[in-house]
Amino acid sequence: MSLPVFLALAAAGGVGAAARFMVDGVIRARFVTAYPWATTVINVTGSFLLGLLTALVTRSLVSSEWSLVLGTGFLGGYTTFSTASYETVRLVRERRYAAALGSGLGMLAGCVAAAALGYWVGGS
């Protein structure tokens, strides 16, 4: 990996994390619930975008360098598996089992479906 690609990847990771922070804040301000809607929206939209990016790379419409910068950098900073895991465990500890199931398995299924949809959209 060249130095410019490395620097772009690092910068994109920072921009992705800032975007996650902003999206999280907007959603939490509008939807005050115990269920982690912000994390769900962030991870599902990030999965869609990664699926779309993957399809564009597969069709040679995006270079491998841009795939690394956007996929690993921006989307890696934007999405957050660790927060999703923490929030699911928090719901279990609060004995909110249905919400925990929706958060854990629901988000997983939603993210896989969103990635597949993004891949399909990018391949069309």
pLDDT at 53: 97
- What is the total count of domains within the chain? 1
Instruction: Answer whether residue 34 shows pLDDT above 90.
Output: no
d(CA 106, CA 120): 21
| Helical ranges in the chain per DSSP H | 3-30, 37-58, 64-67, 75-78, 81-93, 97-101, 107-123
Q: Is residue 10 very low, low, confident or very high in pLDDT (cuts 50, 70, 90)?
A: very high
Average pLDDT score, the chain: 95
DSSP 9-41: HHHHHHHHHHHHHHHHHHHHHH---SS-HHHHH
pLDDT at 100: 94
CB 9 within 8 A of CB 66: no
Segments forming the whole domain that contains residue 74 = 3-123
Q: Is residue 1 very low, low, confident or very high in pLDDT (cuts 50, 70, 90)?
A: confident
Instruction: Answer whether residue 33 shows pLDDT above 90.
Output: no
